[in-house]
Chains A and B, each alone.
Chain A
Amino acid sequence: MNRTVWIYLLIMIVLTNLIRILPVTLIRRRITNTFLRSFLYYVPYVTLAVMTIPAMIQATASPVAGGAAFATGVVAAWKGLGLFPIALICCLVVLVIEMLPL
């Protein structure tokens, strides 16, 4: 592997981790501003939701399988199942649908 490849990788490793570190070094105390507090409360849920749709449906070979896995996952999570069972159920739904001779 030549040196240029290593420089590319070094830039990626340093920059990606700097982005992670920056906010925790800048924000050191509890935020009291109600808007900011509320904003940061909603951020995790919104960002994970945005990353799930449409990516989950596009991740599988057939969009029907991804869509079915999404619907099943939502129902299973609503029923209170854990992280691992839900992930497993979603995988099985995709496997079954994609193996069906359609």
Chain B
Amino acid sequence: MSAFFKGVRDGIPIAAGYFAVAFSLGITARNAGLTAPAGFLSSFLTRASAGEYGVYAMMAVHASFFEIAAICLIANLRYLLMGAALTQKFAPETSLLKRILTSCCITDEIFGISIAWPGFLPLAYPLGATTIAATMWGAGTASGISAGELLPPPIVSALSVALYGMFLAIIIPQGKKDRHVLAALLASFVLSWCCAGLPVLRGISPGIRTVVLTVVIAAAAAWLKPLPSENDRQP
């Protein structure tokens, strides 16, 4: 099977989850004054759940352009880290255009399946996944705008964990293989749980929390348990 179709195949569960999440996003987008075609277009081209939620919610209260730009940067800062991590998955001869196109495919989920690709990452794989996932993400947003609350709440609730189930499918196997990763995962679960629940820390937005915890925990892991020397590394 070609890398593109492998991408499409692995993109199917992502697309299903996206449709459900985008459906509820569409309800927020409607309040911000978006029509269904505009919702499709903006979701298809942006593909950022937390970022879009933030922007649509702020549009509804007529925030300034500056505030919109600020929420965009903060909510999506993690893509900067993901992009940096992705640079180490490229074959050395990969052209700049291919690097840029690959980076444009980054979402939490597509980044997740891309780092699980064995060896150097071909553009076709994330592109295949993005083709189906972005279409469903846009379609979900448009449906949410035009159809409102037609999907029964238990279905929405059930579909909303699909994305996290996929995250577990990506991180747990690596934790099983590498006990340092397992320790980092445990630290991440515990610290993230604490930061979301404790007073004062609770006030930090999920976007900032993700970035700060990622930098702190990954830096601590890199300092305590660095990778072996360059010679015996995997790409």
Contacts and interface: CB of A to CB of B under 8 A. Distances in A.
- Pair from one complex: yes
Contacts of A1: 33-35, 38
B165 A86 contact: yes
Contacts of B10: 83
A39 B159 CA distance: 33
Interface residues of B, number: 102
Contacts of A37: 88, 226-227, 230, 233
Contact of B229 (A15, A34, A42, A73): A34
Q: Is the interface of B mostly helix, strand, loop or mixed?
A: helix
B188 A49 contact: yes
Q: Is the interface of A mostly helix, strand, loop or mixed?
A: helix
Interface string B86-128: 1110101000100110111010100111010000000000000
B189 A53 contact: yes
Contact of A16 (B41, B76, B108, B153): B76
Q: Which 4 A-B pairs have the closest CB atoms?
A: A90-B165, A77-B172, A23-B83, A38-B222
Interface of B: 10, 12-13, 16-17, 32-35, 38, 41-42, 45-48, 51-52, 55, 59, 65, 68-69, 72-73, 76-88, 90, 92, 96, 99-100, 102-104, 106, 108, 111-113, 115, 153-155, 157-176, 181, 184-185, 188-189, 191-193, 196-197, 206, 209-210, 213-214, 217-219, 221-223, 225-227, 229-230, 233
